[in-house]
Structure 1
Amino acid sequence: MLGITHFGFFLVAVFLLNLTPGPDTAYIVGRSVAQGRGAGLVSALGISAGCCVHALACAFGLTALLAASATAFTVIKFVGAIYLMYLGVRLILAKQDAKPAEGADRAAASSAARPLRQLFLSGFWTNVLNPKVVLFFVSFFPQFVGAESEHKALAFLLLGAVFVLMSTVWNTFVAWIAGSVTQRFSGKPGMKKWIDRTVGAAFFGLGVKLATTTR
């Protein structure tokens, strides 16, 4: 079908890849623990949107261009690393409210769209600006498309759609499980503060690791 080969192996490989923790998983877990399941689910959708960008880029040759250009790779690498470190510093330095402000429920309800949008965009950019994801798409996907295929772009798009679907299901599961931790620590600002700091430190560490990644 469209020149796709070894599709079963592709499914197994994607499943195993999802089991491997990375910046995307760390972001989803961090948001789920800090703000609940809803925040984790929105973050997962943002990451899935980022995967869609990579799938489209791979299908139309942009990913191959980035992988072939040392300058493009370096720019994306440092932008992604700086962004992850920025997220980490924000969590580490976040202030915890000792008491909920009066009328907080009304204020939260009126501004709910804004933080959800920010969570979605943060998840999106965390994925898009990760050069390892770029290299993964350009090195992994071509192995499952026959060189003689006359519909390579469609084959890449189909593989990308399957990848995004499987990743979304897994990330949703991760967000749901991690979000349950929030219920245990609700009303314990001291515990939440240390959770935020731990997750922030993990983000910062991932950013440093990303910045030192070589091709």
Structure 2
Amino acid sequence: MLTPEQFFGFLLAAVLITVSPGPDNLMVLGMGISKGRRHGVAFGLGCALGCLSHTALAVVGVSAVIAASPMAFSVLKIVGGLYLIWLGVQALRSRGSAQVVRDGLGEASLRRLFFKGVFANAINPKVVLFFLSFLPQFVLPARGHVGWQMAQLGVVFTLQAAILFSLLGLFSGVIGQWLHKAPRIGLWLDRVAGAVFVGLGLRLIVSR
């Protein structure tokens, strides 16, 4: 099982990253605004559950690296840390200009929107790379069962994303108006997420 430090540290980072403006949560907002709350929730749940496919790929990939060479795992974490720093710098430099995207579909069933969310998230190569970089940062190799630790972290990420995306869809109208009236909120959310990314990357490089 995850230690309390692992769980709460990862949960805090995951929440900050999930709420920062990005393609997934902006599409959930747009879906809720243009089609209604239930449609936004359905699409958001699909996007969240799509993270499970990335978790599985990360578990298999990292487990293969460890089997090949324990040193390779350290290299993977360092490379991942550098990637997270790069993402953080990009977020810190952003102008917070992301706009809520309204989906162009006509009438769509809730089931169709749910699976569209799953598919849109599952085929995104950037999310695959993110999971390969992000999850290992919270793994404690000394505790063993690295693959199981990563699987638990992936489930935690998926659950918090499902809750937050559902809330975005449910309150999409209010949140959309709020962001429209105060666009700088998106800027500061990007700044917070950027600081989290950079902090995680630096923590890894300094500690190893």
Corresponding residue for residue 47 of structure 2: 47
Distance (whole Å) between structure 1 residues aligned to residue 175 and residue 139 of structure 2: 41
C-alpha distance in 2 between matches for 1:127 and 1:150: 30
Q: Which of the residues 148, 168, 173 maps onto 1:174?
A: 168
Supply the distance in 1 between the matched residues of 2:120 and 2:103 (Cα, whole angstroms).
15
Partners of 1:13 and 1:172 in 2: CA distance: 19
Once the 2 structures are TM-superposed, how far is the Cα of residue 2 of structure 1 from its aligned partner? 5.5
Give distance in 2, aligned partners of 1:29 and 1:13: 21
Q: Which aligned pairs between 1:1-215 and structure 2 lie closer than 5 A?
A: 1=1, 6-61=6-61, 91=104, 115-179=109-173
Matched length = 143
Sort the Cα spacing of 1:63 and 1:43 in 2 relative to 1 into closer, same or farther, 3 A: farther
Separation of aligned partners in 2, 1:7 and 1:181: 28
Backbone CA RMSD of aligned residues: 3.3
- Take 1:30 and 1:21, find their aligned partners in 2: how far apart are those partners? 12
Residue 145 (structure 1) shift: 0.8
Structure 1 residues 117 and 6: CA distance shift in structure 2, 3 A: closer
Q: 1:39 to 1:63 in 2, by over 3 A?
A: farther
Contact 1:63 1:137 in 2 (8 A): no
Mark the CA change 1:64 to 1:167 in structure 2 (over 3 Å): closer, same or farther.
Answer: farther
Q: Which runs of 5+ in 2 are unaligned?
A: 66-75, 77-100, 178-208
Q: Tell me the SS of whatever aligns to 2:171.
A: helix
Aligned to 1:72: none
Q: Is the 8 A contact 1:40 1:176 kept in 2?
A: yes
Scaled by the length of structure 2, the TM-score of the pair is: 0.59
Paired residue secondary structure (1:43): helix
Task: Report the CA distance shift for 1:146/1:89 in structure 2 as closer, same or farther (over 3 A).
Answer: closer
In structure 2, the residue matched to 1:198 is: none
- What's 2:205 paired with? none
Aligned partner of residue 21 in structure 1, secondary structure: coil
Distance 1:50 1:37, change over 3 A: same
| Alignment-derived partner of residue 98 in structure 1 | none
Render the CA deviation track for 1:51-99: whole Å, top value 9, x for unaligned.
111112212228989xx9xxxxxxxxxxxxxxxxxxx8972xx78xxxx
In the aligned structure 2, how far is the partner of 1:63 from the partner of 1:23? 29
